[in-house]
Amino acid sequence: MIPIDLIQSTAENLMDKAAIEIPDDYLSGLEAAAHVEDGDLSAFVLQAMLENYKAAKEDRRAMCGDTGCPRWYVKMSNEAQVQGGPVALETALRRATAAATNGVPLRPNRVHPLWRTDHDNNVGIAAPEIEYGFEPAPGGEWIDLTTVHKGGLFGTDYRMLFPSDGIEGIKRFYLDSLVAFGKRGLSCQPAIIGIGLGGSKDACMVLGKRAACLRTVGDRNPDPKIAALEMEFKELGNSIGMGAMGFVGKSMVIDCHIEVGYCHTGGMQMSVHAFCLSSRRACARIWADGRVEHRTDPAWFTPYQRRETVEWPTALAAE
Protein backbone atom coordinates (compact mmCIF):
# COMPACT_ATOMS: atom_id res chain seq x y z
CA MET A 1 0.00 0.00 0.00
CA ILE A 2 1.44 3.36 -1.02
CA PRO A 3 0.88 6.05 1.66
CA ILE A 4 -1.31 8.90 0.43
CA ASP A 5 0.51 11.60 2.41
CA LEU A 6 3.73 10.63 0.72
CA ILE A 7 2.03 10.92 -2.66
CA GLN A 8 0.86 14.44 -1.91
CA SER A 9 4.14 15.70 -0.48
CA THR A 10 6.09 14.18 -3.37
CA ALA A 11 3.67 15.72 -5.85
CA GLU A 12 4.18 19.18 -4.32
CA ASN A 13 7.90 18.72 -4.53
CA LEU A 14 7.63 17.71 -8.18
CA MET A 15 5.61 20.81 -9.02
CA ASP A 16 8.41 22.93 -7.57
CA LYS A 17 11.15 21.05 -9.42
CA ALA A 18 9.33 21.12 -12.74
CA ALA A 19 8.78 24.87 -12.61
CA ILE A 20 12.33 25.75 -11.57
CA GLU A 21 14.85 23.16 -12.77
CA ILE A 22 15.35 22.64 -16.48
CA PRO A 23 15.89 18.91 -17.16
CA ASP A 24 19.52 18.01 -18.00
CA ASP A 25 18.71 16.35 -21.31
CA TYR A 26 16.98 19.46 -22.64
CA LEU A 27 19.70 21.72 -21.24
CA SER A 28 22.44 19.79 -23.07
CA GLY A 29 20.32 19.86 -26.21
CA LEU A 30 19.99 23.62 -25.98
CA GLU A 31 23.70 24.06 -25.27
CA ALA A 32 24.47 22.08 -28.40
CA ALA A 33 22.09 24.29 -30.40
CA ALA A 34 23.65 27.45 -28.95
CA HIS A 35 27.05 26.13 -29.99
CA VAL A 36 26.18 25.95 -33.69
CA GLU A 37 23.78 28.90 -33.93
CA ASP A 38 25.29 31.71 -35.98
CA GLY A 39 22.31 34.03 -36.45
CA ASP A 40 23.33 36.98 -34.23
CA LEU A 41 19.91 37.67 -32.70
CA SER A 42 19.03 33.96 -32.38
CA ALA A 43 22.36 33.29 -30.70
CA PHE A 44 21.72 36.13 -28.25
CA VAL A 45 18.33 34.63 -27.38
CA LEU A 46 19.80 31.18 -26.70
CA GLN A 47 22.50 32.66 -24.45
CA ALA A 48 19.84 34.59 -22.54
CA MET A 49 17.85 31.38 -22.08
CA LEU A 50 20.89 29.54 -20.71
CA GLU A 51 21.46 32.38 -18.23
CA ASN A 52 17.80 32.29 -17.37
CA TYR A 53 17.86 28.61 -16.36
CA LYS A 54 20.79 29.39 -14.08
CA ALA A 55 19.02 32.36 -12.53
CA ALA A 56 15.91 30.23 -11.92
CA LYS A 57 17.86 27.61 -10.01
CA GLU A 58 19.94 30.11 -8.05
CA ASP A 59 16.94 32.15 -6.96
CA ARG A 60 14.54 29.18 -6.74
CA ARG A 61 12.08 31.04 -8.93
CA ALA A 62 10.06 29.71 -11.85
CA MET A 63 12.08 29.70 -15.09
CA CYS A 64 9.26 31.29 -17.06
CA GLY A 65 6.61 33.68 -15.80
CA ASP A 66 4.03 31.77 -17.76
CA THR A 67 4.22 28.59 -15.78
CA GLY A 68 2.04 26.78 -18.29
CA CYS A 69 -0.70 24.31 -17.54
CA PRO A 70 0.35 21.78 -14.93
CA ARG A 71 -0.78 18.23 -15.72
CA TRP A 72 -0.13 14.77 -14.31
CA TYR A 73 0.90 11.45 -15.78
CA VAL A 74 0.41 8.62 -13.35
CA LYS A 75 1.77 5.18 -13.96
CA MET A 76 1.19 2.26 -11.63
CA SER A 77 2.80 -1.11 -11.43
CA ASN A 78 0.27 -3.89 -11.78
CA GLU A 79 0.49 -4.65 -8.07
CA ALA A 80 0.27 -1.07 -6.80
CA GLN A 81 -2.40 -0.12 -4.28
CA VAL A 82 -2.87 3.44 -3.17
CA GLN A 83 -4.04 4.17 0.36
CA GLY A 84 -7.58 5.53 0.07
CA GLY A 85 -7.92 4.37 -3.54
CA PRO A 86 -7.96 6.28 -6.82
CA VAL A 87 -10.24 9.05 -5.52
CA ALA A 88 -7.76 9.84 -2.74
CA LEU A 89 -4.99 9.83 -5.33
CA GLU A 90 -6.74 12.37 -7.52
CA THR A 91 -7.56 14.54 -4.52
CA ALA A 92 -3.90 14.49 -3.48
CA LEU A 93 -2.78 15.58 -6.96
CA ARG A 94 -5.32 18.39 -7.09
CA ARG A 95 -4.30 19.55 -3.62
CA ALA A 96 -0.62 19.48 -4.55
CA THR A 97 -1.33 21.50 -7.70
CA ALA A 98 -3.21 24.15 -5.75
CA ALA A 99 -0.65 24.29 -2.93
CA ALA A 100 2.31 24.63 -5.31
CA THR A 101 0.56 27.33 -7.34
CA ASN A 102 0.56 29.41 -4.22
CA GLY A 103 3.86 28.16 -2.84
CA VAL A 104 6.37 28.35 -5.72
CA PRO A 105 4.54 30.63 -6.81
CA LEU A 106 3.14 29.61 -10.19
CA ARG A 107 0.87 31.69 -12.34
CA PRO A 108 -2.78 30.78 -11.82
CA ASN A 109 -3.37 30.17 -15.51
CA ARG A 110 -6.47 28.03 -15.46
CA VAL A 111 -9.80 29.74 -16.02
CA HIS A 112 -13.28 28.73 -17.14
CA PRO A 113 -13.34 28.94 -20.96
CA LEU A 114 -16.49 31.08 -21.10
CA TRP A 115 -16.85 32.86 -17.76
CA ARG A 116 -13.09 33.23 -17.19
CA THR A 117 -13.59 32.24 -13.55
CA ASP A 118 -10.16 31.88 -11.93
CA HIS A 119 -9.73 29.94 -8.69
CA ASP A 120 -6.17 31.28 -8.51
CA ASN A 121 -4.84 27.77 -7.98
CA ASN A 122 -4.68 26.04 -11.40
CA VAL A 123 -7.49 23.67 -10.41
CA GLY A 124 -10.90 23.61 -12.06
CA ILE A 125 -13.14 21.51 -14.27
CA ALA A 126 -10.93 18.91 -15.99
CA ALA A 127 -7.85 20.70 -14.68
CA PRO A 128 -5.20 19.57 -14.00
CA GLU A 129 -5.40 16.73 -16.51
CA ILE A 130 -4.56 13.39 -14.96
CA GLU A 131 -3.64 10.56 -17.34
CA TYR A 132 -2.95 6.97 -16.41
CA GLY A 133 -0.78 4.13 -17.56
CA PHE A 134 0.05 0.72 -16.14
CA GLU A 135 3.10 -1.49 -16.18
CA PRO A 136 3.33 -5.28 -15.62
CA ALA A 137 6.46 -4.98 -13.38
CA PRO A 138 6.04 -8.27 -11.48
CA GLY A 139 7.05 -8.10 -7.83
CA GLY A 140 7.12 -4.28 -7.65
CA GLU A 141 4.64 -2.08 -5.86
CA TRP A 142 5.17 1.50 -6.98
CA ILE A 143 3.56 4.51 -8.54
CA ASP A 144 5.31 6.91 -10.94
CA LEU A 145 4.21 10.53 -10.77
CA THR A 146 5.22 12.81 -13.61
CA THR A 147 4.19 16.42 -13.82
CA VAL A 148 4.52 18.41 -17.01
CA HIS A 149 3.93 22.16 -17.10
CA LYS A 150 3.40 22.68 -20.78
CA GLY A 151 3.34 26.15 -22.30
CA GLY A 152 -0.16 26.86 -23.36
CA LEU A 153 -1.19 28.51 -26.59
CA PHE A 154 0.99 27.90 -29.61
CA GLY A 155 2.88 25.18 -31.40
CA THR A 156 0.25 22.44 -31.53
CA ASP A 157 -1.87 21.42 -34.49
CA TYR A 158 -3.77 18.45 -35.91
CA ARG A 159 -4.66 17.42 -39.42
CA MET A 160 -6.43 14.46 -40.96
CA LEU A 161 -4.13 13.26 -43.70
CA PHE A 162 -4.70 10.24 -45.94
CA PRO A 163 -2.44 7.41 -47.04
CA SER A 164 -2.10 9.11 -50.43
CA ASP A 165 -0.56 12.16 -48.72
CA GLY A 166 2.42 9.94 -47.95
CA ILE A 167 5.66 11.08 -46.38
CA GLU A 168 5.59 14.21 -48.55
CA GLY A 169 2.30 15.21 -46.95
CA ILE A 170 3.59 14.46 -43.46
CA LYS A 171 6.67 16.59 -44.08
CA ARG A 172 4.52 19.38 -45.45
CA PHE A 173 2.28 19.55 -42.40
CA TYR A 174 5.31 19.31 -40.11
CA LEU A 175 6.97 22.28 -41.84
CA ASP A 176 3.73 24.26 -42.02
CA SER A 177 3.26 23.86 -38.26
CA LEU A 178 6.85 24.80 -37.42
CA VAL A 179 6.80 27.89 -39.63
CA ALA A 180 3.30 29.02 -38.63
CA PHE A 181 4.05 28.95 -34.91
CA GLY A 182 7.73 29.73 -35.33
CA LYS A 183 7.12 33.15 -36.87
CA ARG A 184 7.79 35.76 -34.20
CA GLY A 185 8.72 32.82 -31.99
CA LEU A 186 5.18 32.20 -30.77
CA SER A 187 5.96 28.59 -29.90
CA CYS A 188 9.11 29.64 -28.00
CA GLN A 189 11.42 27.49 -30.08
CA PRO A 190 13.79 25.71 -30.14
CA ALA A 191 11.63 22.97 -28.74
CA ILE A 192 11.26 19.25 -28.46
CA ILE A 193 8.78 18.43 -31.20
CA GLY A 194 6.40 15.51 -30.70
CA ILE A 195 4.53 14.01 -33.61
CA GLY A 196 1.55 11.69 -33.30
CA LEU A 197 0.70 9.56 -36.32
CA GLY A 198 -2.46 7.48 -36.59
CA GLY A 199 -4.78 6.49 -33.78
CA SER A 200 -8.07 8.35 -33.80
CA LYS A 201 -8.15 12.13 -33.58
CA ASP A 202 -7.97 12.24 -29.79
CA ALA A 203 -5.47 9.37 -29.55
CA CYS A 204 -3.31 11.07 -32.16
CA MET A 205 -3.20 14.24 -30.08
CA VAL A 206 -2.39 12.27 -26.95
CA LEU A 207 0.42 10.34 -28.66
CA GLY A 208 2.00 13.49 -30.08
CA LYS A 209 1.82 15.35 -26.80
CA ARG A 210 3.34 12.44 -24.91
CA ALA A 211 6.04 12.13 -27.57
CA ALA A 212 6.96 15.78 -26.92
CA CYS A 213 6.62 15.82 -23.15
CA LEU A 214 7.51 12.33 -21.94
CA ARG A 215 10.54 11.43 -24.05
CA THR A 216 13.99 12.88 -23.43
CA VAL A 217 16.39 14.48 -25.89
CA GLY A 218 18.38 11.78 -27.68
CA ASP A 219 15.80 9.04 -27.12
CA ARG A 220 14.87 7.15 -30.31
CA ASN A 221 11.79 5.18 -31.28
CA PRO A 222 12.58 1.43 -31.20
CA ASP A 223 11.31 1.01 -34.78
CA PRO A 224 14.49 1.75 -36.77
CA LYS A 225 12.60 3.32 -39.68
CA ILE A 226 10.69 5.66 -37.37
CA ALA A 227 13.95 6.45 -35.57
CA ALA A 228 15.45 7.44 -38.94
CA LEU A 229 12.44 9.67 -39.63
CA GLU A 230 12.90 11.35 -36.25
CA MET A 231 16.49 12.22 -37.15
CA GLU A 232 15.50 13.39 -40.62
CA PHE A 233 12.74 15.60 -39.22
CA LYS A 234 15.06 17.15 -36.66
CA GLU A 235 17.46 18.03 -39.44
CA LEU A 236 14.66 19.31 -41.67
CA GLY A 237 13.26 21.56 -38.95
CA ASN A 238 16.68 23.04 -38.34
CA SER A 239 17.22 23.81 -42.01
CA ILE A 240 14.22 26.11 -42.41
CA GLY A 241 16.46 29.11 -41.84
CA MET A 242 14.62 30.17 -38.72
CA GLY A 243 15.83 30.19 -35.14
CA ALA A 244 14.75 31.34 -31.69
CA MET A 245 12.00 33.99 -31.66
CA GLY A 246 11.58 33.62 -35.41
CA PHE A 247 14.87 35.40 -36.11
CA VAL A 248 17.17 34.23 -38.89
CA GLY A 249 18.96 31.16 -37.58
CA LYS A 250 19.07 27.40 -37.55
CA SER A 251 17.69 26.21 -34.24
CA MET A 252 14.04 25.21 -34.27
CA VAL A 253 14.12 21.62 -33.06
CA ILE A 254 16.09 20.29 -30.12
CA ASP A 255 14.82 16.81 -30.87
CA CYS A 256 11.93 15.19 -32.70
CA HIS A 257 9.96 12.26 -31.32
CA ILE A 258 7.37 10.29 -33.23
CA GLU A 259 4.77 7.96 -31.73
CA VAL A 260 2.33 5.90 -33.75
CA GLY A 261 -1.01 4.22 -33.14
CA TYR A 262 -3.06 1.99 -35.36
CA CYS A 263 -5.66 4.02 -37.27
CA HIS A 264 -8.61 3.64 -39.64
CA THR A 265 -7.46 2.02 -42.87
CA GLY A 266 -8.48 5.06 -44.92
CA GLY A 267 -6.73 7.70 -42.82
CA MET A 268 -3.38 8.92 -41.52
CA GLN A 269 -4.01 11.32 -38.63
CA MET A 270 -1.16 13.61 -37.71
CA SER A 271 -0.53 15.91 -34.77
CA VAL A 272 2.42 18.19 -34.03
CA HIS A 273 3.28 19.44 -30.54
CA ALA A 274 6.07 21.82 -29.54
CA PHE A 275 7.38 21.53 -25.97
CA CYS A 276 8.70 25.07 -25.53
CA LEU A 277 11.99 26.51 -24.24
CA SER A 278 10.66 25.85 -20.76
CA SER A 279 10.49 22.07 -21.14
CA ARG A 280 9.20 21.49 -17.65
CA ARG A 281 8.85 17.93 -16.47
CA ALA A 282 9.71 16.18 -13.23
CA CYS A 283 9.17 12.61 -12.16
CA ALA A 284 9.41 10.41 -9.09
CA ARG A 285 8.78 6.76 -8.28
CA ILE A 286 7.14 6.17 -4.92
CA TRP A 287 7.43 2.68 -3.46
CA ALA A 288 5.11 1.05 -0.97
CA ASP A 289 7.96 0.92 1.58
CA GLY A 290 8.25 4.73 1.52
CA ARG A 291 11.23 5.11 -0.82
CA VAL A 292 11.03 8.05 -3.25
CA GLU A 293 13.34 8.15 -6.29
CA HIS A 294 13.45 11.39 -8.29
CA ARG A 295 14.37 11.54 -11.97
CA THR A 296 13.73 13.72 -15.02
CA ASP A 297 13.09 10.91 -17.52
CA PRO A 298 9.47 9.81 -17.23
CA ALA A 299 10.39 6.56 -19.05
CA TRP A 300 6.78 6.38 -20.11
CA PHE A 301 7.15 4.58 -23.44
CA THR A 302 8.08 1.06 -22.45
CA PRO A 303 7.61 -1.99 -24.70
CA TYR A 304 4.36 -2.56 -22.84
CA GLN A 305 3.01 0.90 -23.72
CA ARG A 306 3.80 0.25 -27.37
CA ARG A 307 2.51 -3.33 -27.43
CA GLU A 308 1.10 -4.51 -30.73
CA THR A 309 -0.57 -7.79 -29.92
CA VAL A 310 -3.42 -9.17 -27.84
CA GLU A 311 -1.51 -11.02 -25.16
CA TRP A 312 1.41 -9.78 -23.09
CA PRO A 313 3.64 -12.71 -22.14
CA THR A 314 4.75 -12.57 -18.52
CA ALA A 315 8.24 -13.66 -19.51
CA LEU A 316 8.68 -10.41 -21.41
CA ALA A 317 7.21 -8.40 -18.58
CA ALA A 318 9.81 -9.77 -16.16
CA GLU A 319 12.70 -8.21 -18.10
Partner 1 sequence: MAPPAKIRLSTTPTRQDLEALRLGDIVHLDGLMYTAREGVYKRALEEQANIPMELPRESAANFHCSPAASIDADGSFRLGAVTATASFRFEKWLGEWFEKSGARLIVGKGGMSSATYKKHFVPNGAIYLTTVGYGTGALLGRGVENVEAVHWEKELGLAQAMWVLKCRDMGPFIVASDLEGNCLFERENAKIAENLHRAYEGTRPAVLKRYGETDDRSDELIG
In the complex, which residues of this chain contact ligand SF4 (CB under 6 A)? Answer: 64, 66, 68, 151, 188, 276-278
Return the half-sphere exposure (C-beta side, CA atoms, 13 A cut-off) of residue 77.
18
Q: Which helix (H) or strand (E) holds 5?
A: helix 4-20
- Interface with partner 1 by CB under 8 A: which range of 91-99, 147-155, 196-204, 222-230? 147-155
Nearest to 43 by CA among 277, 248, 274: 248
Q: Which is nearer to partner 1, 7 or 229 (CB)?
A: 229
52 binds partner 1 (CB under 8 A): yes
Q: Which does 287 bind (CB under 5 to 8 A by kind): partner 1, ligand SF4, none?
A: none
Q: Which is nearer to ligand SF4, 177 or 269 (CB)?
A: 177
DSSP-derived 3-state class of residue 292: strand
212 binds partner 1 (CB under 8 A): no
Please name the amino acid found at residue 238. Answer: N
Q: Which is nearer to partner 1, 7 or 123 (CB)?
A: 123
- Interface with partner 1 by CB under 8 A: which range of 69-77, 86-94, 182-190, 202-210? 182-190
185 binds partner 1 (CB under 8 A): yes
Determine the Cα–Cα distance for residues 115 and 103; give it in Å rounded to an integer.
26
Q: How far is the CB of 172 from partner 1 (least distance, A)?
A: 4
CA angle 254, 259, 262 (to 5 degrees): 160
Q: Which of 85, 86, 138, 166 binds partner 1 (CB under 8 A)?
A: 166
172 binds partner 1 (CB under 8 A): yes
CB 218 within 8 A of CB 155: no
Q: Is 68 left (phi over 0), alpha (psi -120 to 50) or beta?
A: left
Beta bridge partners of 150: 69
Q: Which helix (H) or strand (E) holds 233?
A: helix 224-237
Number of residues near partner 1 (by CB under 8 A): 68
Number of H helices, E strands in the chain: 8, 9
Q: Interface with partner 1 by CB under 8 A: which residues?
A: 38, 40-41, 43-45, 48-49, 51-53, 55-56, 59, 61-67, 101-102, 104-109, 111, 116, 118, 120, 151, 153-154, 159-162, 164-166, 168-169, 171-173, 175, 179, 183-186, 188, 236, 239-242, 244-248, 276-278
